[in-house]
Structure 1
């Protein structure tokens, strides 16, 4: 499948990306891909090993005469976000990603995420490793696991394992930009067993659904004003609360790091209130479409009868308390950075919300340039949901990456970008969880930058990559590796001791 990818330029990169598209690799299911890459490395005579968590490292010795150059680590993550349109059946653990080249000069997937995040970075590293015409110093390619679900690979990376002192993270998504810092984050999980009661005489079930939102990356896209399906469906539930609505079940969002595009609820409502309820939902739908005009145009909100049996629902009090707690829970941009104009400092995504048989679960992803702000929002969740008897815990916390504007590696990249493309790259800090912050904590000597091709719609079925930007990315990466090969032992020592300022 995806044979057309091998006709794109640069061919070595796209050939590897085809392999990644044809090999299922959602978070937690990277084993088949790791085994495939190990066989590939064996075929080229490249050394490889894994750490205890399963992260893969492939090494290539320096071009003769360049053994004293600083070691370069090419880094990316093997897993991808698994998101498909609701009307498209796709098993991400078994089915390949089907791609298409659009007339717009972009590569798309058919009804699913594309996996350009971070498949193109991985493909580029593999292409560098097999490029025998390239002059380079000692190379390591580090491929981490479970980045999209928990940052597990980076968090559990073996210490005193990597040998290089210059790290090129290939997981950025903007052309003409280079990243030198990122937000940290943590998952906030809330669980409760809430009281239920059987239907009362005169109550009948209704299905409430909200679909058609754009979704997107919960960090990069959080400031763009797009709808959050969980936030908006709760507004509908709040509007129905005065009519005596009781929640039977709820399912909204699928990933904590993707803006939820859809949410669904079943509720019990006295039959004499059904007409009023439909009118309220219709009015709210019009309001929401007006609020999202020009940003998220596809919203659909409906309330319809359902034949599904409802043996129990939350008690009236439990339903009211839960809806009110969700209604005031932190969601969206909390604060913009003062030091870095235009950069989100702190945000929260209500990523996954579910209710079944009284069992409530919420998973939110908090991001911030300040660890204290992450801790504060987590504590606000705890204080809020304790009021309804829920338990809150924080998991998968990871640090941010502190910017180093004086980085020697950054200076070399900027000069090379200017020489090759005729302009200085924008130096940026991203409101997303690059693995650099974690890696820097484990390897303080590393001097790091992050760059990549232009990707849009990451973490959603709208994900796409601009083809011309991939050529540009490849040209810069290849040139930078050759540039770094010209450095000597003194430069390597300076890089090792100058990083982490």
Structure 2
């Protein structure tokens, strides 16, 4: 952490080191929130906490800038908790082991939390400075963004005075975001009928691992393997010849992360072990050929395990495996309006076996409501054909682009003045909270910026050091250029 704390800009990186030291996965942000509140009150700043745990910290303008429009810098308190299978780490207790790796900061076997820890650190560094020039300032830190946007949903009108919001949750330096995708969760519940273990069977655990995973919006177009889908494909293709029985299946851990690992426990006749290993080896070779460019570390392992007490009935097993195999996944449509941007996608994120049912959790994203609704209709039809239940929940709106946004123009012109090149104005295929903020604050002018973060929502997450400095310089220059109140 000492090496990280000495990076430029030092106040930002010192705060990021503190953030890494305090566990803050989604739904467990209280310790970090208390630390920030105590610090802010000690600085004499006004601190508000709403009913769900969102923090609003207010700081007066610096001398001579009292008549500028009020700005709120916004970030989220939580981080995505993902780790490699061989990494021992409790996200609710253990600090993030961040370190410098060349031009990047990354973490040892876990997500780093640069998403959105860098943005949070920048806001707190500005609050703590006596030298940075700015008008009346608010900092909004929301809870539970990564697991359902609970904080953004609950934000009430009247708590913020700002006319301008700068969201810090973007992940590419040189791009200014003026819109984002909306989304909805889709959860299939597949009822299970169980039967006794057939005589003469042995049990095996099949595990797909070594995939890159990543953010289910930002990385969905990269062609990475989805462990849940790859495992289901093998099981469906080999069901007849191997004549196996499934006792449990699991894959992924977050609906907004591309699954890196999935596993299934199956039983089959003892004399078919060699055939199972042969089929698994052939399938691994096939996937390594198909996904050689995107998933070079992919593995399919077969290990013997203890015999289960029961297995799925033939009908339940077929219904489940065919559902997973046929469920849409990945990019559904590219945008006609914005070149190179995904319009609509779906991530089959999590599979869990729970007693008398198996849950399959997906996340639909779309820049347009009709795209999201079309996928909802498709999944409802799939559920009807499979004779299972599907529930849609947690729908959140997209952030409709406003090409005439005054703050976007300020950020664009400022960037061009500093770096002598035009930034790219973008819409991101991810769920920024800005769309939800528009409900209690419909007139608020919004923009989103950030440094370059690679592989968010996965253990390979890293943030580029140079771009953190560039993001910082841009943010401070924009605060100086905020116009006076009308």
Structure 2 counterpart of 1:328: 326
Please state if 1:360 is matched with 2:347. no
Matches within 5 A, 1:279-298: 279-298=278-297
Work out whether residues 244 and 316 of structure 1, in 8 Å CA contact, stay in contact via their aligned partners in 2: no
Structure 2 counterpart of 1:82: 81
Please state if 1:59 is matched with 2:58. yes
**What's the secondary structure of 1:223's corresponding residue?**
helix
Query: Aligned-pair distance for 1:303?
Result: 2.6
Structure 1 counterpart of 2:133: 135
Residue in structure 1 matching 2:440, options 432, 439, 442: 442
Listed as ranges, the gaps of 5+ residues in structure 2 are none
Residue in structure 2 matching 1:429, options 427, 430, 440: 427
Structure 1 counterpart of 2:191: 193
Residue in structure 1 matching 2:349, options 351, 376, 380: 351
Query: Aligned-pair distance for 1:358?
Result: 4.1
Structure 1 counterpart of 2:15: 16
Query: Aligned-pair distance for 1:482?
Result: 1.0
Q: Hey, what's the Cα distance between the residues in 2 that align with 1:107 and 1:6?
A: 11
Structure 2 counterpart of 1:416: 414
Work out whether residues 312 and 357 of structure 1, in 8 Å CA contact, stay in contact via their aligned partners in 2: no
Structure 1 counterpart of 2:303: 304
Query: Aligned-pair distance for 1:384?
Result: 1.6
Q: CA RMSD in A?
A: 1.2
**What's the secondary structure of 1:188's corresponding residue?**
strand
Query: Aligned-pair distance for 1:389?
Result: 3.8
Work out whether residues 190 and 362 of structure 1, in 8 Å CA contact, stay in contact via their aligned partners in 2: yes
Structure 1 counterpart of 2:157: 159
Structure 2 counterpart of 1:237: 235
Q: Hey, what's the Cα distance between the residues in 1 that align with 2:214 and 2:235?
A: 24
Structure 2 counterpart of 1:183: 181
Structure 1 counterpart of 2:252: 253
Q: Hey, what's the Cα distance between the residues in 2 that align with 1:107 and 1:220?
A: 19
Listed as ranges, the gaps of 5+ residues in structure 1 are 491-501
Query: Aligned-pair distance for 1:164?
Result: 0.3
Structure 2 counterpart of 1:390: 388
Deviations 1:213-261 (A, max 9, x none): 0111100000000100001011111122113222110110011111110
Work out whether residues 313 and 358 of structure 1, in 8 Å CA contact, stay in contact via their aligned partners in 2: no
Structure 1 counterpart of 2:33: 34
Q: Hey, what's the Cα distance between the residues in 2 that align with 1:38 and 1:368?
A: 36
Q: Hey, what's the Cα distance between the residues in 1 that align with 2:326 and 2:237?
A: 14
TM-score of the two chains, using structure 2 as the length reference: 0.98
Q: Hey, what's the Cα distance between the residues in 2 that align with 1:253 and 1:362?
A: 10
Structure 1 residue ranges (4+ consecutive) displaced by more than 3 angstroms after TM superposition: 386-389
Query: Aligned-pair distance for 1:32?
Result: 1.0
Structure 2 counterpart of 1:498: none
Work out whether residues 59 and 141 of structure 1, in 8 Å CA contact, stay in contact via their aligned partners in 2: yes
Please state if 1:91 is matched with 2:90. yes
Work out whether residues 245 and 316 of structure 1, in 8 Å CA contact, stay in contact via their aligned partners in 2: no
Moved more, 351-360 or 330-339: 351-360
**What's the secondary structure of 2:253's corresponding residue?**
coil
Moved more, 277-286 or 470-479: 277-286
Please state if 1:120 is matched with 2:118. yes
Moved more, 346-355 or 199-208: 199-208
Work out whether residues 248 and 356 of structure 1, in 8 Å CA contact, stay in contact via their aligned partners in 2: no
Structure 1 counterpart of 2:372: 374
Q: Hey, what's the Cα distance between the residues in 2 that align with 1:73 and 1:176?
A: 21
TM-score of the two chains, using structure 1 as the length reference: 0.95
Matches within 5 A, 1:260-279: 260-279=259-278
Please state if 1:174 is matched with 2:172. yes
Query: Aligned-pair distance for 1:64?
Result: 3.3
Deviations 1:28-78 (A, max 9, x none): 001111111111111110001012211000001112332221110000001
